[in-house]
């Protein structure tokens, strides 16, 4: 018997057929040829697996597959999602949603030309690094400031500038991994510095630094804020002020990697004490590094603040050019920082702060009203108490008492979670005791309608496998 695959028409014949005409009106020919090849390969593979496909000479058999392939290719890879995890700074979900004024400023900068590197007063060449300096120095009390691509980059840049070929003293209790493969000992080595380990994992005293550094001149001491885990029990660490005194007595500098970049009083957010950039400078740190997209709530960026002489050296390092930020980031960060001139405004308008400070009672009312809207669409669910987190490697062990909607459905939580992630917009939920819980804290108010529609869609439609993307959709 002849191989059935020989009945498959050529790609040229298929593309020239009447069935493909609607596609030619919508997509470039080269894309249609690729899609048709994919459809033919798909048919050959399925025949090879022994499947029956009907009339192999009919172009309609391939046109449908090609159309889905083309449509899937049009959908952007990076898409908005609904964060129903209750984790406010979710690194996998892009960390901080931005304030309206920050978004507007980024759009305005992206849409046209800017004075990014032009001094409008003199008409001469300017620097992109000046645009956030006055806001950052005003808000933190620093002499000078610099914004680069992210905090990891800021730390590499600072170490490479201050400690290339030299030793950097770090407590063994602070040789941490921040996440995404960012480990302090490796970063230090890649920056061209040598690691001088100090003390022990649970206890490091200022005298331990003194012993390790005795006889060295102009040492670099790095203190890393343990932002993503806690050690408790028999512990001791040297404070920023003690380390600053020691480093300064030896003619050296203290670099403090602070991580979170919180600029308001943590008590206002119901959070435990957390050092802020200003506290660190006041305690004597010479340079402080923090993220722009953690508790600051801005676009991705890394901020360096501190002594002007050090920041001038850092700006002259060629690596600074490699880590530079673009105009949209500068615009978005400056707009976010401007909100902090009045802490009340920041608490109201910076989404990250607003979400963290959300009152459980107000969250409960939102959960009740969403649950009612879902039940009206036939989805069995109820408003429940749940617990979220700040996230982004900050405030480990601190739970945010929250409210959510628990779905009561005859379907495994994993399967339902998969269906919620598949539609548009995808919903990322929490699974608690094999039940799906949608924490309302991190659902943006503008997404509530979409959430109801999507949950209803995912909850209905039988228990078979959900719709999938790609060729067999």
Ligand X SMILES: *Cc1c(COP(=O)(O)O)cnc(C)c1O
Shortest spacing between CB 8 and ligand X, in angstroms: 50
H helices present in 75-196, as ranges: 100-111, 133-140, 151-163, 184-190
| Residue 22 tokens, joined | 């609607």
CA distance 213 to 207: 10
| 255 contributes a contact to ligand X by CB under 6 A | no
Of 256 and 366, CB closest to ligand X = 256
Of 185 and 251, CB closest to ligand X = 185
| Residue nearest ligand X, CB atom distance | 259
**Where does this chain touch ligand X (CB under 6 A) — which range of 78-86, 149-157, 403-411, 445-453?**
149-157
Q: Are β-strands 287-291 and 253-259 bridged in parallel, bridged antiparallel, or unpaired?
A: parallel
| 455 contributes a contact to ligand X by CB under 6 A | no
Of 178 and 389, CB closest to ligand X = 178
CA distance 289 to 248: 19
**Contact in structure between 87 and 442 (CB atoms under 8 Å):** yes
Residue span 376-415 as binding mask against ligand X, x where in contact by CB under 6 A, dash where not: -----------------x----------------------
> Using CB under 6 A, which residues numbered 43 to 72 contact ligand X?
none
CA distance 301 to 293: 6
| 257 contributes a contact to ligand X by CB under 6 A | yes
| 275 contributes a contact to ligand X by CB under 6 A | no
For 65, half-sphere exposure in the C-beta direction (CA atoms, 13 angstrom radius) is 23
State the DSSP code for 266. Answer: G
**Contact in structure between 278 and 244 (CB atoms under 8 Å):** no
> Binder to ligand X among 86, 199, 219, 259 (CB under 6 A)?
259
**Where does this chain touch ligand X (CB under 6 A) — which range of 119-127, 147-155, 192-200, 277-285?**
147-155
| 227 contributes a contact to ligand X by CB under 6 A | yes
| 178 contributes a contact to ligand X by CB under 6 A | yes
| Residue 277 tokens, joined | 């950039």
Nearest to 195 by CA among 182, 205, 185: 185
For 141, half-sphere exposure in the C-beta direction (CA atoms, 13 angstrom radius) is 12
Shortest spacing between CB 338 and ligand X, in angstroms: 21
Residue span 340-379 as binding mask against ligand X, x where in contact by CB under 6 A, dash where not: ----------------------------------------
CA distance 317 to 332: 25
| 240 contributes a contact to ligand X by CB under 6 A | no
- Token pair 């941490």 in the structure block, residue: 176
**Contact in structure between 290 and 260 (CB atoms under 8 Å):** yes
| 140 contributes a contact to ligand X by CB under 6 A | no
Of 332 and 404, CB closest to ligand X = 332
Site residues, ligand X (CB under 6 A):
150-152, 178, 182, 224-225, 227, 257, 259, 291, 302, 393
């Amino acid at each position: 018997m002849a191989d059935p695959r020989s009945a498959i028409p050529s790609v040229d014949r298929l593309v020239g057929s009447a069935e493909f005409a609607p596609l030619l009106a919508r997509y470039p020919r080269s894309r249609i040829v690729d899609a048709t090849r994919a459809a033919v390969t798909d048919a050959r593979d399925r025949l090879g697996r022994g499947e029956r496909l009907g009339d192999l000479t009919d172009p309609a058999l391939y046109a449908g597959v090609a159309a889905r392939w083309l449509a899937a290719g049009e959908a952007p890879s990076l898409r908005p999602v609904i964060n129903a995890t209750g984790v406010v700074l979710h690194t996998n979900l892009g960390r901080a949603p931005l304030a309206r004024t920050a978004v507007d400023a980024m759009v305005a900068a992206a849409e046209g030309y800017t004075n990014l590197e032009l001094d409008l007063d003199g008409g001469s060449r300017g620097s992109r690094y000046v645009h956030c300096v006055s806001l950052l120095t005003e808000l933190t009390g620093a002499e000078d400031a610099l914004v680069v691509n992210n905090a990891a980059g800021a730390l590499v840049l600072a170490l490479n500038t201050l400690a290339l070929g030299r030793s950097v003293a770090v407590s063994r209790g602070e040789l941490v991994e921040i996440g995404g493969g960012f480990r302090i000992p490796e970063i230090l080595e890649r920056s061209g510095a040598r690691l001088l380990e100090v003390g022990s994992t649970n206890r490091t005293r200022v005298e331990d630094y003194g012993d390790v550094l005795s006889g060295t001149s102009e040492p670099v001491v790095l203190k890393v804020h343990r932002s993503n885990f806690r050690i408790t029990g028999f512990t001791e660490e040297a404070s920023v002020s003690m380390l600053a005194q020691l480093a300064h007595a030896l003619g050296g500098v203290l670099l403090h990697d602070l991580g979170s970049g919180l600029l308001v009083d943590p008590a206002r957010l119901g959070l435990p004490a957390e050092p802020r950039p200003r506290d660190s400078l006041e305690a004597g740190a010479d340079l402080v590094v923090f993220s722009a997209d953690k508790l600051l709530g801005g676009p991705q960026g890394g901020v360096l603040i501190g002594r002007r002489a050090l920041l001038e050296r850092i700006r002259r390092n060629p690596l600074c050019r490699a880590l530079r930020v673009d105009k949209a980031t500068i615009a978005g960060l400056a707009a976010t920082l401007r909100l902090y001139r009045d802490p009340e405004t920041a608490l109201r308008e910076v989404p990250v702060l607003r979400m963290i400070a959300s009152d459980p009672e107000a969250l409960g009312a939102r959960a009740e009203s969403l649950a009612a809207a879902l039940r009206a669409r036939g989805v069995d669910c109820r408003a429940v108490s749940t617990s979220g987190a700040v996230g982004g490697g900050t405030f480990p062990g601190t739970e945010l008492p929250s409210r959510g909607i628990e779905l009561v459905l005859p379907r495994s939580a994993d399967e339902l979670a998969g269906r919620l992630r598949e539609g548009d917009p995808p919903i990322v939920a929490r699974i608690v005791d094999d039940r799906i819980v949608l924490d309302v804290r991190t659902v943006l108010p503008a997404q509530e309608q979409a959430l109801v529609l999507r949950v209803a869609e995912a909850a209905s439609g039988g228990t078979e496998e959900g719709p999938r993307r790609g060729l067999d959709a």
